[in-house]
Amino acid sequence: MEFSANQIAQLLDGTVEGNGDIKVNNLSKIEESAPNTLSFLANPKYAEYIYATKASIVIVANTFVAEKAIPSTCALIRVKDPYSCFALLLEKYNQSKNNKTGISESAKIDSTASIGSDCYIGDFVSVGTNTTIGNNVKLYAGCVIGDNVTLGSNSIIFSNSVIYSDCILGESCTIHSGVIIGSDGFGFAPSSDQEYTKVPQIGNVIIESHVEIGANTCIDRATLGSTIIRKGVKLDNLIQIAHNVEIGEHTVIAGQTGIAGSTKIGSNCLIGGQVGIVGHITIANNVKIAAQSGVQNSIDVDGTIVQGSPAFAIGDYKRSYVLFRSLPRIKSRLDIIEKEIKNSK
């Protein structure tokens, strides 16, 4: 699809400088621009590239002042915030790219399933009994949707994801490839003969609206009740969330983090990559946990920042780390003092 500078300016509430009829059909970075593409300039460090740009349209700030001539083949669109405007265009572009509809002949949909309007169901998708799929849901190739599942409208499930039976997914969620939702929790009871007996996991997973889950993340079903991912949560790739965990609204978790069973995490938390969190603890709201931390106890105070393994207050951690790095030097000094004391006797 092609769009003119005038059309884009109208969408962004901006003004055009140059040829308003010039058209673009793709996007590019300012330093790697090409003809018939749209780019943006938000960071002044990249300003030099605009004077030799090959892009047909560049979005700039209202306050931008050109120090040299800009190529005549390039039209400018002036806006209040170039970065947020370009992000809006990326969102629109992505929506148009994923705007598929129709049901593949190779898809297997149970006769009891309810499919909303304007859905896309790709090749070799399986939809189980009594499952309800909302309007404008996209199920890409190889997805498996179990029995009694509910998928909210405007959600996207990318290829080879699996949603087990009885799970509930809210509206406008994005599930990336390889995600497993509702697999059994890691529940085994030790027996008298030093073996383990599996504890049946009969709960489900509830994912509220506007949640995004990265590739190959696993969210286990509850033993009883529900594992709950609240509204607006963003999960990176390769995260493990165990049974009966609850993650509060708008919390963000980076890749390779593992959260053990029955832990409750508050709202608006930021959790770095490769964090390990033990089970059956509570983490307050607005908590920040630095990457590779190991959280072994509850964090009860809102807004706490922790680091380390075991994790503790980040200020104390940094002061302790300074001493840790100084230990060889401190030991050398102690050895000298010990020798002096021995020699003085």
CA distance 179 to 157: 9
Buried b (16+ CB within 10 A) or exposed e, 101-140: eeeeeebebeeebebeeebbbbeebbbbeebebbebbbbb
Residue 66 phi/psi, 5-degree rounding, is -75, 130
Query: Can you spell out the DSSP letters for 19-46?
Result: -TT-EESEE--GGG--TTEEEE--SGGG
Q: Is 176 a catalytic residue?
A: no
Pairing between β-strand 15-17 and β-strand 75-79 as defined by DSSP bridges: antiparallel
pTM equals 0.82
pLDDT of 260 > 90? The answer is: yes
pLDDT in tens, 122-145: 999 999 999 999 999 999 999 999
Predicted local confidence at residue 97, as pLDDT: 78
pLDDT in tens, 69-91: 999 999 999 999 999 999 998 88
Residue tagged active-site, from 176, 243, 250, 280: 243
Segment 96-116 shows an average pLDDT of 93
CB 254 within 8 Å of CB 271: yes
pLDDT in tens, 22-75: 999 999 999 999 999 999 999 999 999 999 999 999 999 999 999 999 999 999
Residues whose CB falls within 8 Å of the CB of residue 99, separated by 6 or more in sequence, listed in order: none
Q: How wide is the angle at C-alpha 331 spanned by C-alphas 292 and 290, nearest 5°?
A: 15
pLDDT in tens, 170-184: 999 999 999 999 999
Predicted local confidence at residue 94, as pLDDT: 81
Higher-confidence position of 292 and 96 = 292
pLDDT of 207 > 90? The answer is: yes
Segment 288-312 shows an average pLDDT of 93
